[in-house]
């Protein structure tokens, strides 16, 4: 069933009026896409099972892929989580509001659909005034995964959301481009030693300063999914994608070699590369992510680049993995790995 999706442009309207209108939609069990500092999310009342179900339907999201619940106050955290460790408050003081999601033990009344039947809940406080304002106007925690069709590149602008979810959700708040561009870091605090489940906007190095010992999850252990991004294909363009991993000196040579091979086979090739690699390679379809000296710029442009190249009727996208796998670079490499059909390691 097609829904008439309202799009609210915050540069042309009264922001408080928009937030009140969209807050009312959430209160009435509807769905609203909104900007955060990481990517756009599509939200519903986290405590309303039928409202949350609408998110899964709109996105085509697997039923065992848990959602992140967004809050605006510590009181809301205490409302939905229990047995909160002191480490959580240390991290909240350091990074909230901000791109850090904490996995905590949930209270029993939180609907199973919100947590996919787990006894844990993923929670964060976004660092975006529109997101925080929407939560406050809604009067409830908001469950909100990224506002894209499941598996596709995450949306960093309202136009990306419109392309994927127009006619599937009730409203979209256009708050301009996301300033970080990759999703939040996810940290599991339900075991004795904190475990990083997904790299994101807060680096491993920053977290270690506050928690000491830290486990880093490289892949899903068993069948329990505590965090988005752990099992299913994510962030992927529809076009086949090859990721070239290696040091920055050799990556450009390998990409040039692959471009030549694909073009000799009559394939249309697009390149998703750093500014430095772009000086060494050639293709009719080139998207420059930014400089290796500014990985934050690369992160901001990553999903927009994937979406742009995916619209160019290409046979293959070759992506530049010649980045340092640390800081926010670890999140960029993580997303590229999950988006790629094939890895070339040199």
Mean pLDDT by 10 residues, the chain (346 residues): 92 90 98 98 98 97 92 97 97 98 98 96 98 98 97 96 98 97 97 95 95 78 52 76 91 95 96 95 93 96 97 97 92 95 93
CATH 3.40.50.11030 domain span(s) along the chain: 240-345
Calculated CA dihedral for residues 208, 212, 213, 216, nearest 10 degrees: -10
Q: What is the pLDDT of residue 221?
A: 43
If one looks up domain 240-345 in CATH, what number appears? 3.40.50.11030
> Candidates 3.90.870.10, 3.40.50.1000, 3.40.630.10, 3.40.50.300; correct CATH number of 6-216?
3.90.870.10
Cα–Cα dist 252/282, whole Å:
10
Q: Please tell me the pTM assigned to this model.
A: 0.94
CATH 3.90.870.10 domain span(s) along the chain: 6-216
Smallest Cα–Cα separation from 319: which of 260, 237, 249, 261?
237
- Annotate 3-21 with b (16+ C-beta within 10 A) or e (fewer): bebeebebeeeeeeebbeb
Q: What is the pLDDT of residue 161?
A: 98
Question: Six-digit token pair at 136?
Answer: 């406050």
Q: What is the pLDDT of residue 219?
A: 52
Query: Residue 250, Cβ neighbours under 10 Å: how many?
Result: 12
As a whole number of Å, the CA-based R_g of the chain is 20
Q: What is the pLDDT of residue 245?
A: 95
Smallest Cα–Cα separation from 199: which of 235, 230, 245?
230
Cα–Cα dist 164/71, whole Å:
25
Evaluate whether 44 touches 31 at the Cβ level (below 8 Å): yes
């Amino acid at each position: 069933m097609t829904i008439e999706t309202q799009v609210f442009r915050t540069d042309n309207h009264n922001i408080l009026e928009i937030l009140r209108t969209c807050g009312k939609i959430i209160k009435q069990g509807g769905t609203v896409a909104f900007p955060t500092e990481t990517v756009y999310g599509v939200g519903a009342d986290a405590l309303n099972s039928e409202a949350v179900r609408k998110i899964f339907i709109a996105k085509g999201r697997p039923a065992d892929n848990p959602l992140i619940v967004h809050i605006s106050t510590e009181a809301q955290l205490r409302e939905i989580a229990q047995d909160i460790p002191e480490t959580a408050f240390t991290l909240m003081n350091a990074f909230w509001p901000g791109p850090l999601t904490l996995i905590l033990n949930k209270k029993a009344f939180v609907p199973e659909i919100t947590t996919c039947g787990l006894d844990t809940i993923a929670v964060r406080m976004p660092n975006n005034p529109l997101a925080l304002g929407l939560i406050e106007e809604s009067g409830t925690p908001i469950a909100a995964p990224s506002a894209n069709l499941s598996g596709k590149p995450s949306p960093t602008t309202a136009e990306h959301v419109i392309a994927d979810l127009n006619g599937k959700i009730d409203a979209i708040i256009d708050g301009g481009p996301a300033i970080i561009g990759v999703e939040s870091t996810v940290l599991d605090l339900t075991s004795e030693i904190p475990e990083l489940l997904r790299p994101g906007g807060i680096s491993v190095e920053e977290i270690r300063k506050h928690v000491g010992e830290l486990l880093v999850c490289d892949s899903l252990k068993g069948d329990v999914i505590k965090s988005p991004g752990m099992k299913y294909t994510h962030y992927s363009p529809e076009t086949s994608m090859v990721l070239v991993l290696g040091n920055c000196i050799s990556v450009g040579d390998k990409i040039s070699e692959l471009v030549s091979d694909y073009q000799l086979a009559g394939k249309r090739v697009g390149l998703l590369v750093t500014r430095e690699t772009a000086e060494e390679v050639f293709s009719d379809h080139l998207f420059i992510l930014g400089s290796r000296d500014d990985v934050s710029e690369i992160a901001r442009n990553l999903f927009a680049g994937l979406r742009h190249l995916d619209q160019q009727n290409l046979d293959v996208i070759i992506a530049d993995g010649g980045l340092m796998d640390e800081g926010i670079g670890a999140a960029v490499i993580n997303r590229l790995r999950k988006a790629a059909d094939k890895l070339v390691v040199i």
